[in-house]
Amino acid sequence: SDTLTILGIESSCDDTAAALVRGVPGTVHILSSVIYGQAELHADFGGVVPEIAARAHAERVDTCVKEALFQADLALSDVDAIAVTAGPGLIGGVLSGVMCAKGLAAGAGKPLVGVNHLAGHALTPRLTDEIAYPYLMLLVSGGHCQFLLTRGHGDFSRLGGTIDDAPGEAFDKTARLLGLPQPGGPAVQAEAAHGNPTRFRFPRPLLDRPGCDLSFSGLKTALLRARDAIVTDKGGLTRQDRADLCASFQAAVVDVLAEKTARALTLYLAENPASPVLAVAGGVAANSAIRARLETLSADHAIRFLAPPLALCTDNAAMIAYAGLERFAAGEQDDMTLAARPRWPL
């Protein structure tokens, strides 16, 4: 099939991003990938503030696209289609991206392709490696946690997911409760490295229930209780207390993810995939303890484990351009009625 050049735009959370990818489904290269992060804008508020995010996306998205074209040494006329995240996400941000994409598509006479942000994450293994369908994707980030049996660019089975918090959220809240910096994941992982993971026996939620659903909110409550017990007892936390709390918390997350992944693998392997792959995406996939356990689990099942480079695991526009490329190559596109959707399950 023909080589396609696709512009992708992403603005569904706190990163304004634009990228250009070129190739065919399963074999592409990234010509440019620009990300304007907003961490410093939200730092004082302990989380992403939708109003601030929306304004920043609206102000920056045009420049971001220009920068991506400049870095790829391309003009808009060189592009075959414009792909944009149409949801799910913070509606103000998604609207900024969709309106920008519509303006460019109308102005340059280019096809418009709406992309589900979760599909972008789920297709990342095909952006970075030539992974064949079907594969099992574990998406673990600050906002998401789900198992996606991925059979095609628009064919996903959700085998299970969190019924409350995402694991990244749990890492971030743990860091906040222990006075560690944000984002919490890297900080908690660093503390856990010199802590005792068996000192506190935190719950392993939902392991007693069949299926692949997960829960993380009870863990946070257990951690809060353990912290308060130490503070009441000794008047404060020592460095070792903090490290032990982090290590025990992380061990619980790892155990829960590993057990539920094992169950999801059983469902996936029942389809007899020719070259089975377990892939991860999302910021939490950066966690070395989680990676190590999933690697072991994959080896035990004699399947390939794939963790894409971190910059492509977290929010970016190359994955949106790539998901758009697969849709467009399959003859799918949208028109000017493309809507921004705050909620959009796969």
Q: Report the amino acid identity of residue 154.
A: G
End-to-end CA distance of the chain: 27
Minimum gap (Å) between residue 16 Cβ and ligand KG4: 13
User: Candidates 54-62, 205-213, 311-319, 337-345 — which segment interacts with Zn ion by CB under 5 A?
Assistant: 311-319
| 284: partner contacted, choices ligand KG4, Zn ion, none (Cβ within 5-8 A by kind) | ligand KG4
User: Candidates 52-60, 86-94, 288-296, 313-321 — which segment interacts with Zn ion by CB under 5 A?
Assistant: 313-321
- The answer to whether the annotation marks 316 as part of a ligand binding site is no
Minimum gap (Å) between residue 142 Cβ and ligand KG4: 3
Nearer to ligand KG4, 81 or 145 (CB): 145
Strand order in the sheet with 135-140: 155-161, 145-152, 135-140, 277-281, 304-306
| 283: partner contacted, choices ligand KG4, Zn ion, none (Cβ within 5-8 A by kind) | ligand KG4
Minimum gap (Å) between residue 116 Cβ and Zn ion: 11
| 197: partner contacted, choices ligand KG4, Zn ion, none (Cβ within 5-8 A by kind) | none
Return the structure tokens found at 251.
């061990």
Task: Count other C-beta atoms under 10 Å from residue 297's C-beta.
Answer: 18
- The answer to whether the annotation marks 48 as part of a ligand binding site is no
Q: What is the DSSP string of 124-161?
A: HHHHHS-PPSSEEEEEESSS-EEEEEEEETTEEEEEEE
**CA–CA separation, 89 vs 342, rounded Å?**
5
Minimum gap (Å) between residue 104 Cβ and ligand KG4: 24
Return the structure tokens found at 339.
């809507």
Task: Count other C-beta atoms under 10 Å from residue 85's C-beta.
Answer: 34
Minimum gap (Å) between residue 142 Cβ and Zn ion: 8
Return the structure tokens found at 337.
């009625």
| 286: partner contacted, choices ligand KG4, Zn ion, none (Cβ within 5-8 A by kind) | ligand KG4
- The answer to whether the annotation marks 140 as part of a ligand binding site is yes
**CA–CA separation, 338 vs 79, rounded Å?**
19
User: 135-160 in b/e burial notation, b at 16+ Cβ within 10 A?
Assistant: bbbbbbbbbbbbbbbbeebeebeebb
Q: Report the amino acid identity of residue 112.
A: L
Nearer to ligand KG4, 136 or 286 (CB): 286
- The answer to whether the annotation marks 185 as part of a ligand binding site is yes
**82 within 8 A of 7, measured Cβ to Cβ:** yes
Residues in Cβ contact with 266 at an 8 Å cutoff, skipping those fewer than 6 apart: none
Return the structure tokens found at 245.
């709390």
Nearer to ligand KG4, 146 or 333 (CB): 146
Query: Which residues in this chain contact ligand KG4 in the complex, by CB under 6 A?
Result: 13, 141-143, 168, 171-172, 183-186, 189, 282-284, 286-287, 314-315
Asked if 169 touches Zn ion (CB under 5 A), the answer is no
Q: Can the peptide bond before residue 197 be classed as cis, meaning omega within 30 degrees of 0?
A: no
Minimum gap (Å) between residue 3 Cβ and ligand KG4: 30
Task: Count other C-beta atoms under 10 Å from residue 329's C-beta.
Answer: 19
Asked if 315 touches Zn ion (CB under 5 A), the answer is yes
| 186: partner contacted, choices Zn ion, ligand KG4, none (Cβ within 5-8 A by kind) | ligand KG4
- The answer to whether the annotation marks 116 as part of a ligand binding site is no
- The answer to whether the annotation marks 117 as part of a ligand binding site is yes
Minimum gap (Å) between residue 315 Cβ and Zn ion: 4
| 162: partner contacted, choices Zn ion, ligand KG4, none (Cβ within 5-8 A by kind) | none
- The answer to whether the annotation marks 142 as part of a ligand binding site is yes
- The answer to whether the annotation marks 315 as part of a ligand binding site is yes
**Kind of pairing, strands 145-152 and 15-24?**
unpaired
- The answer to whether the annotation marks 331 as part of a ligand binding site is no
Binding site for Zn ion (CB under 5 A): 315
Binding-site residues for Fe cation sit at 117, 121, 315
Binding site, residues?
117, 121, 139-143, 172, 185, 287, 315
